[in-house]
Amino acid sequence: MASGLETEFVTLHEIVKAARTHLNPNIWDYLIGGTETETTLRRNRLALDSIAFKPRVLRDVSKIDPSSEIFGRRIRLPVMLAPVGSLESFEPGGGITVARGADAANVPMLISSVTTLKLEDIVKGGAAPKIYQLYVRGDDAWVADRVRQAMDAGYDAFCITVDTQVYSRRERDIAKRFVKSWRTAAVGQDHQAAFSWSNLAALREKFPDVKFLLKGIGTAEDAEIACQHGMWAVYCSNHGGRQLDHGRGSAQVLPEVIEAVAGRAKVIVDGSFSRGSDIVKAIAMGADWVGLGRLYCYGLAAAGAAGIERVIELLEEEMKEAMGLLGVTSLQQLDKSYVAASTPTNLPGVHSAFPLLNLDDKGY
């Protein structure tokens, strides 16, 4: 299946620009912004730009396969659409549109609990693999009920976000006096603040067959504890630079997380992954999948489900190019020997991966 947008969008930066024209300034700033000084946001990009490739030559790369596997199913790329709150603010169909885009592109999606849609309805949007992501807004019985609902609805795994125990100050929104409707309607933040390893242990005991993952792991120490609690996957993330300011970039944290996990769980990473080459770097470092957040939302805002599919098509082209020039034909051939630390050349920012992008005089 093809998106039908092959001539309208020939580069990723054109999709970003189209999204900017379709979104009102408040929603645009909500999408691209980070916390306070936005240092963590920029460090996400800086960490990726500090990794260089080490190519090998004179190898047969006439056939390149960038596909991966999840839940026993072959998927187009080693990526998943990360959970993003209030998808309806980018496109009226919200989570259902994203499900259709994920299905057309054959990539998995994580659906955020911050949505106006019932989790059962989102499943109807397509057959792509789906993971339900939860912000804890109730006691242990409430959380257990959400797990049951998700599993009964056909979700493949259950994700708990663990880096939002305190809600951050996102000053792009605050300075504009933009109060997000989904925030004013939210209650129960105190339950997220109180959620601990002991709550997780009890949940794991109650649902021994459920594939659980924790999103928001930022240290080897917590990756180790997650594995001790039998997590199916450890999701290395700093919430796209939208929670703790002055944190490390995800690509900088990834090696220590992978070392700590030591094959006991799957590893997912996100944080400013914007190009096919970024994905190749993560796989070479040892990640299983890469989460895409802002990037697929640009596609959603630009052209709905087809826009998401077009993002994946372009990433596939970029991945094949990078893999071929590295001298590999499959993801299994990638390892740490293909990457090395290097000096970044670009001033990092939310859109620094798109040097041809010029949205306004601030480069936003």
Which positions are annotated as active-site residues?
Answer: 239
Triad 238, 243, 246: Cα angle to 5°: 75
138: helix, strand or coil = coil
Triad 165, 171, 177: Cα angle to 5°: 110
Is-contact 224 168, C-beta < 8 A? no
Question: Bridge partners of 330?
Answer: 65
Q: Where are the alpha helices (DSSP H) in 233-342?
A: 250-261, 276-285, 294-326
**Which among 59, 107, 12, 2 is positioned nearest to 330, based on CA atoms?**
59
Cα 348 → chain centroid: 19
Strands 73-75 and 79-81: unpaired
Integer Cα distance of 87 and 96 in angstroms:
9
Is-contact 236 216, C-beta < 8 A? no
Strands 73-75 and 68-70: antiparallel
